[in-house]
Copies of this chain bind each other. A is one copy, B any other.
Amino acid sequence: MSAVTSTRVVLAARPHGEPTTDNFRIETAQVPSPADGQLLLRTVYLSLDPYMRGRMSAAESYAEPVEVGDTMVGATVSQVVESRSPRIEPGAYVLAYSGWQSHALVDGNAVRVLDPDRAPLSTAVGVLGMPGFTAYSGLLKIGRPQPGETVVVAAASGPVGSAVGQIARIRGARAVGIAGGPDKCAFVRDELGFDAAIDHRAPDFAEQLKAAVPDGIDVYFENVGGAVTAAVLPLLNLYARIPVCGLVSQYNAASMPEGPDRLPGFMGLVLTKSLTIRGFIQSEFVQAMYADFERDATRWIGEGSLKYREDVVDGLENAPTAFLGMLHGKNFGKLVVRVGPERA
């Protein structure tokens, strides 16, 4: 097979503060034929996730940054165009980590084969993939909601938040979701079945949140930071747990915000309320919990107790704009880019 041309989105420059489309550049490159053990993939769906903002920066983090000039990283659902791996047939669909590009060469051992009859392919990067597992592992391992307790989560119409609230309810807890705007709140309450949904854009957001948690908050699943966290803190109960999986509201901050310094007060609250704060990346729990997650989530989706919504953007060239919008909550559901058709 002759070489294919891959379209890709590279990091053109590191952002200082708020990123713009100027931080990205679209390029094309020839992809050589696969070597022994390799696969040539064409991307069907590219997952866009908040953690990618961290990869654009050189600051120390839990993962290496993307180098300037390199292809942006990301999980994909891809189809095998050509295989030199004995275990994978051409035409198979795989979960890969081949980034913001239309085609890629990957090691055959670095992908997981997907069953297209089990669930829609895009769910492999959503409710049945990393975001769903982030919700499942962080909530059950760190949050540990008990029946009758109150769980609060922001970005509640998004892929992590929507699963957090629904799994909390499956475990017998009350779920209160925070989302941006009346449409998302209606979806969270009426479609996902949360006990309450609060619009963080409302001028009386903090009062509404307080009214929605008459028994206080036992688990706050932290994925946004900022004003939502500030409203949550005074409502935390003794022994409340805060799994921290993201802080999307502050990823674009270029410097420390002005005072007063709230850290001493926060530590005082940790002490007087015997709080547990625990940062995590879902990969930490894969070995211990992923098999349970796949079994449980598949069953819950089949039973209708775990619903999800996707926001599909067409065309790799639209990935930068879609990604920048996501950092401000413009997506409604799990954001994926349809890079190519499911069936070529």
What's the least CB distance linking A221 to chain B, in Å?
A: 13
Docked complex Cα distance between A71 and B98 (Å): 68
Task: Count A interface residues, CB 8 Å.
Answer: 43
Docked complex Cα distance between A246 and B267 (Å): 9
Number of identical protomers = 2
A203 near B: Cβ within 8 Å?
no
Given A274-B281, A276-B278, A278-B275, answer yes or no on A266-B264 (Cβ-Cβ < 8 Å). Answer: no
- Segment at the interface with B among A86-94, A253-261, A287-295: A253-261
A229 near B: Cβ within 8 Å?
yes
Q: Is the CB of A267 within 8 A of B222?
A: yes
Across the interface, which residues of B come within 8 angstroms of A300, CB to CB? none
Q: Is the CB of B256 within 8 A of A265?
A: yes
A321 near B: Cβ within 8 Å?
no
Across the interface, which residues of B come within 8 angstroms of A266, CB to CB? 263, 266
What's the least CB distance linking A224 to chain B, in Å?
A: 10
Given A60-B272, A62-B274, answer yes or no on A261-B263 (Cβ-Cβ < 8 Å). Answer: yes
In A192-237, which residues have CB < 8 Å from any B CB?
222, 225-226, 229
A328 near B: Cβ within 8 Å?
no
What's the least CB distance linking A174 to chain B, in Å?
A: 23
What's the least CB distance linking A57 to chain B, in Å?
A: 11
Q: Is the CB of A247 within 8 A of B268?
A: yes
Q: Is the CB of A272 within 8 A of B229?
A: no
Closest to A274 in B: B279
Docked complex Cα distance between A60 and B280 (Å): 30
Docked complex Cα distance between A211 and B162 (Å): 45
What's the least CB distance linking A156 to chain B, in Å?
A: 19
Among candidates B238, B259, B284, residue contacting A257 with C-beta atoms closer than 8 Å: B259
Given A256-B260, A258-B260, A261-B256, answer yes or no on A238-B62 (Cβ-Cβ < 8 Å). Answer: yes
Across the interface, which residues of B come within 8 angstroms of A253, CB to CB? 264
Closest to A62 in B: B272
A273 near B: Cβ within 8 Å?
yes
Binding site for B on A (CB under 8 A): 54, 60-62, 222, 225-226, 229, 238, 244-247, 250, 253, 255-281, 284
